[in-house]
Structure 1
């Protein structure tokens, strides 16, 4: 395959320009809190990104981009890796995270909305660096290129083709004739959620700065907090429940919110949404009962609060914590581990395999059992009263196989650290699924600093691959992708 270098360079220029613009609020934060070193680092980042970005866009205008379907995979994968690479500069320049590998890991975790961290003392970092760290969640939640198409309409239909490679979920719905309009509608809703949540959190006693940090992380379902003990720092049931509700909202298919405006009943008939809410309610009740019967909690309301919060946090792959759930009974932890393997809804900001894929996989299993009993029976797969084509079913089955194969191979690579099995497997599962905390040495009160540089690079790759739905990245390792003679 011959790569169209002009398209690739043009998109890199757009990416750098967008990152430069997005770093401006962090620079303002550094000025407000008089963080001189941080301000200088952001000036360097902004100047570098804007100058190079504008120069590239001048030489290779976005309106002239003509992208082939296969080009989109390479462009998106490189965009996300380069975004993580260059966005790590302020952390290294200020010495907040001296190791570039660690800073790269942190920003991969930020953009992929994973929330895994190598930081042992988060509160020691400058406020502007923590702002930039959490703002990366907000950018990565909806998608960097989706954001670019919203502010640079001239990318047009080519932008949709590229953005479809980074959108969480099996499909990307186009709600308007122009994809740039669709992007703006999505980001308008995204911003409304962010602003409303920030206001509600301030009503609960958070400062404006804290409210912004946690709004970025919640709406982007990322989970970075500016406190060492995460959301538990606030010890407020009001804040816990507000965040729980918004995590659930942002783990919902965003397209459903537009459907609800016109046809509310149809939205609630969506099979994925009903399964998503059913799982949250069922797992919350089971964990709350388990915590009470095991003696971990004596107050039913607190048990329900922490259970609902952690269930919402894990299934939406946000990764916040109100308590050390690694100290919970085995049954409760097993339920959380299952949630890590499910993920949120398609076309949401959440990670993981997505509920719709789980539903279709279950239907495939049921059909397989039925065909074993009645070989001549003609059965069709249906979802939301529509037929699931064989192509879609095959793609979902292939994804699920690749998902578990990635966890297996990733665990083998990480096993060289010599950590216990639970730590090793949960670290890989939480990175591929973009969840954040795992169990044992990577539990909610721990971090990933003890891993070797090799393991951090592997886990960084897995976070990006998981956020980009695996195939976008792994396709680049196939000889079929690079061989122009093979379709």
Structure 2
């Protein structure tokens, strides 16, 4: 175990966190808010500790997969613990557990909240709350890779932090790959901000909502979510939620003028197909309740995009919908967005792998001598990826079951407890029942909130980086 490189990178992460906190501090100064001072204080502390951790440069700069996963897991825990301090010391969130919950929900782009009066918060706190979505969407360590020189071993950091069953370099150099990913991410976010401002959304709201859309997070600056904004803004958010749920390799191929290759991506086609079917079923199911096709299409397309991409915004209380549309939302809640996007969930690519494995197994039972490989985009998927995908599903089910049992101790109804776990481990935000779009997680016990925090971070990091922390063999010296 190379402890020196772990400590060194965590120090770098704290230094960057200090820099990130200066942005809401600036926002607070613009609005003449005294709470901006707390960001300056915490940033100073983070910078000091980070600098101390980096005083001694590691002699051995090699980083293997194990170190990469540990750095990412510890890094996200540190981000949540440190990022929560301004909420707590300012008094805007009185409980540190609640502050960590809100921060972890922000960085993991979950969007679940314990706040009951979000509109009473200061602008700097609201901005930080949404900005954590944007930082966590593509990954904080990916951002560091994009702006700092890095070696080939840094690919382990990107693989551990990026969502999906496999991560490929878009270009030979890891730093260039990270740079291109963030360039696309930044450009799409900027475009959405401009479009929303043109749609007469307030400038502050446009930034916060765009951060939440880009990171597929879902924190809003209003208690009503997105319902109070005009239809143009709602449609714009729907479009961008859907776009941020697509594998970013798709956009890279388009920029490289490989348009045919981009649209040949099987995962993108499945993603579009699943979304279209979900919208169609919901529209047919709610049109009688809503009253018009246009309104039902707007609500269905928005909520399907919000849930499938794990953004979590809401324009209506879908707790009031019938059983069928709610079941559709729960199903696509588990499916999630594409690998290599900012969305959560199991991922469409894994759904494709599982479906093809089932098909091949049935074919083998009928024709025992047949030999078939699972393919994606015309290429055979290697055994390592298949093994990891299957292990992911097993670990996912196990963690979900244990979390569900622990949450049930609080005594909430089955729907609220089940979808509460589903909403956090899939990084969605709202569930059904008590944790519905206009509900929240404030009523749960301290134990349940820490379970949810664990689920949010574990789900964002695709389980294994967090599990490796609890493996005793990880910390043994060779």
What is the deviation of 1:484? 5.5
Q: Distance in 2 between matches of 1:39 and 1:377?
A: 66
**Residues 156-186 of structure 1: per-residue CA shift (max 9 Å, x gap):** 3233222210111112221223211211111
Residue 141 (structure 1) aligns with = 137
1: CA distance, partners of 2:468 / 2:43: 32
How far residue 329 of structure 1 moved from its aligned partner, in angstroms, is 0.7
1:233 to 220, 228, 238: 228
Distance in 2 separating the partners of 1:43 and 1:484 = 39
CA distance, structure 2, for counterparts of residue 65 and residue 121 of structure 1? 47
The 5 A counterparts of 1:37-52 are 38-52=35-49
Root-mean-square deviation (CA, aligned residues, Å) is 1.4
Q: Which residue does 2:72 correspond to in 1?
A: 76
Q: Does the 8 Å contact 1:288/1:304 carry over to 2?
A: yes
Aligned to 2:306: 313
Cα deviation for residue 265 of structure 1 reads 1.1
Establish whether residue 243 from structure 1 lines up as the match of residue 227 from structure 2: no
Q: 1:9 Cα deviation (Å)? A: 1.2
Where does 1:315-334 land on structure 2 (aligned, <5 Å)? 315-334=308-327
* Residue 446 of structure 1 pairs with residue 439 of structure 2: yes
Residues 394-419 of structure 1: CA distance to partner in whole angstroms, max 9, x if unpaired? 22111112212221111011111011
Q: Whole-Å Cα distance in 1 between the matches of residues 189 and 68 of structure 2?
A: 29
* Matches of 1:312 and 1:474, distance apart in 2: 30
In the TM superposition, residue 152 of structure 1 has moved relative to its aligned partner by: 1.7
1:9 aligns with 2:3: no
From the superposition, tell whether residues 159 and 118 of structure 1 become closer, same or farther in structure 2 (CA, over 3 Å). Answer: same
1:416 aligned onto 2:409: yes
* Cα distance between partner residues in 1 of 2:52 and 2:147: 18
Q: Quote the residue 2:20 is aligned against.
A: 22
Match of 1:129 among 117, 125, 136: 125
CA offset digits 1:327-362 (Å, max 9, x no partner) = 111000000000111010001000011000000000
Separation of aligned partners in 2, 1:59 and 1:377:
58
Q: 1:99 aligns to what? A: 95
Question: Which residue is equivalent to 1:285?
Answer: 280
Superposition deviation, residue 53 in structure 1 = 2.1
Stretch deviating more after TM superposition (398-407 or 419-428): 398-407
Q: How does 1:349-360 map to 2 (within 5 A)?
A: 349-360=342-353
Displacement of 1:129 after TM fit?
0.2
TM-score (norm 2): 0.97
Aligned residue runs from structure 1 range 105-124, under 5 A: 105-124=101-120
Hey, what does 2:57 align to over in structure 1?
Answer: 60
Deviation at 1:130, TM superposition (A): 0.6
Q: Is this contact kept in 2: 1:10–1:65, CA < 8 A?
A: no
Range that drifts further, 111-120 or 259-268: 259-268
Q: Following superposition of structure 1 onto structure 2, how do residues 151-300 of structure 1 map, counting pairs within 5 Å?
A: 151-153=147-149, 155-234=150-229, 236-261=230-255, 262-292=257-287, 295-300=288-293
Tell me the alpha carbon deviations over residues 291-338 of structure 1, each in whole angstroms, 9 at most, x when there is no partner: 01xx31111001000100000000100000000011111000000000
**Which structure 2 residue ranges, 5 or more long, are not aligned?**
none
* Residue 385 (structure 2) aligned to one of 378, 392, 414: 392
Could you tell me how far 1:64 is from its partner in structure 2? Answer: 6.0
How far apart are the structure 1 equivalents of 2:380 and 2:5?
37
Q: Does the CA contact (< 8 Å) of 1:21 and 1:46 recur in 2?
A: yes
Name the SS of the counterpart of 2:359 in structure 1.
Answer: helix
CA distance in structure 2 between the aligned counterparts of 1:70 and 1:313, rounded to whole angstroms: 34
Deviation by residue 1:107-151 (Cα, 9 ceiling, x = unmatched): 000000000000000001111001001000000000111011112
Distance 2:159 2:452 in 1: 24
Give how far 1:74 is off. 1.3
Does residue 459 of structure 2 align to residue 463 of structure 1? no
Distance 1:340 1:83, change over 3 A: same
Count the aligned residue pairs.
477
Encode CA deviations 1:58-110: one digit per residue, 9 max, x unaligned. Answer: 4337x963212211111111100000100111101110101000000000000
Return 5+ residue gaps in structure 1 as ranges: none
CA contact (8 A) 1:231 1:322 kept: yes
Q: 1:368 aligns with which of 361, 364, 367?
A: 361
Q: Please report the TM-score for the alignment, with normalisation by the length of structure 1.
A: 0.96
1:382 and 2:375 are equivalent in the alignment: yes
Separation in 2, partners of 1:57, 1:157: 21
Aligned partner of residue 34 in structure 1, secondary structure: coil
User: How many angstroms does 1:260 deviate by?
Assistant: 1.6
Q: Per-residue deviation at 1:483? A: 4.5
Q: Distance in 1 between matches of 2:238 and 2:114?
A: 25
